Amino acid sequence: MSARVGPAPDDWSHACRVAIGLLIPGLALVVLGYPELIIYAVFGSFTGMYGRTGTRRSRLRHQAQAGAVLSTAVGIGSFLSGNQAQPWILVSTVTAFAFVGALVTTRLDLSPRGPFFGIFALGATATVPARVPPLAALSICAGTVVFSVLIGLTAAGRAQGPIAARCLRGWCGRGRQLSCSSVHALRYAVAVVAAGAAGLLLGVDHANWAMASAAVPLAVADTRSLLHPGIGSVVHRSLHRVGGTLAGLVVTAGLLQLHLGTTSLAVVVMVLLFPTELFMARHYGLALGFFTPLIMVMTELASPAEPATLLTARLVDTLIGVAAGIAASVVVRGPCRSAGDELRLAGPRRRPVG
């Protein structure tokens, strides 16, 4: 993440593409009289966040891959919601998805890194009331994915230098060799199940938010290191998560006090996506000041609740989640080569994005 807070010139056009990817499907839902279904379009529009740099071909590939992950997550979540799955089934499903999703996104080298958006999409759609059949919810998401991919094709691409994606291997305590990607995926699984279990045991609403928050710190962990995943970066991202969430909750409280109608709230969601993506790569905490009210308003549309309860749940779940994420990055490690060998073999390190 760059020390510069303000957006770069390319950030403006990229944020516009992401916002348009939601604007058109969102307005279509409003016109058709279904603003409460915008949650499914929002998750589809996250496709546009991928493939930020590189050639047009690489952007198409990465956005198509990310769109498939997001659509799968929404499909599973909608199915769980439609069948009124028990909370522990949700936690187990999200944990499994986190592990597999981490392996997949690392293997595909997707950026933003990690399975956060997929975890978030699955948990959120599983915990809101099923207002439409799962297939209809999936169709809204998939349609938005396709539209976002088409929008991405309108942007010119630029060539990138080769990125070293070499993965070291080490021996776990039992003597079995594990790839670094498997260890990193295990971090996600441990963080998510710990956060979800804590949320349920404490009786906090929207335990899915805790599971999603647990994935956030791990996005900046070094996926190639079995020995040291970069605890400093993990803690730094966690602080941004908490600070940005607090700022976003203040904005959310103000919005909810206006008692806007469902159409106006849907428009607010569409508007907030632009500044969210505009600052995401530059300052994660600042971006969360916009992303948090987007999520809260989207959730309020899909499942209305008492504002104070909603805001409190978001704060508590965020604290639970980041604590679980930090703990997983500390606990889940594996014996590796010496530090000198690791630096020599790993090659150039890639800067975390998103």
Please write the tens of the pLDDT for every residue from 288-338: 999 999 999 999 999 998 999 999 999 999 999 999 999 999 888 755 443
Task: Name the percent of the chain lying above pLDDT 90.
Answer: 68
Q: Which residue has the higher pLDDT, 349 or 146?
A: 146
Q: Is residue 157 classed as helix, strand or coil in its secondary structure? A: coil
Of 30, 104, 98, 92, the C-alpha closest to 67 is 104
Q: Which pLDDT belongs to residue 160?
A: 55
Helical H segments across the chain, by residue range: 9-32, 38-45, 56-82, 87-108, 116-127, 134-152, 180-201, 207-215, 231-257, 262-280, 284-302, 307-331, 339-346
Cα distance between residue 323 and residue 288, in whole Å:
18
Vertex 131, ends 201 and 143: CA angle to 5°? 105
**81-128 pLDDT, tens per residue?**
999 999 999 999 999 999 999 999 999 999 898 999 999 999 999 999
**45-68 pLDDT, tens per residue?**
999 999 887 788 999 999 999 999
Vertex 285, ends 296 and 96: CA angle to 5°? 65
Of 163, 80, 160, the C-alpha closest to 122 is 80
Q: Which pLDDT belongs to residue 80?
A: 97
- 5: pLDDT strictly greater than 70: no
Buried b / exposed e over 202-226, threshold 16 CB at 10 Å, is eebbbbbbbbbbbbbbbbbbbbbbb
Mean pLDDT of the chain: 86
Cα distance between residue 257 and residue 270, in whole Å:
19
pLDDT band at 345 (very low <50, low <70, confident <90, very high): very low
- 19: pLDDT strictly greater than 70: yes
Q: Which pLDDT belongs to residue 206?
A: 84
pLDDT mean over 274-284: 91
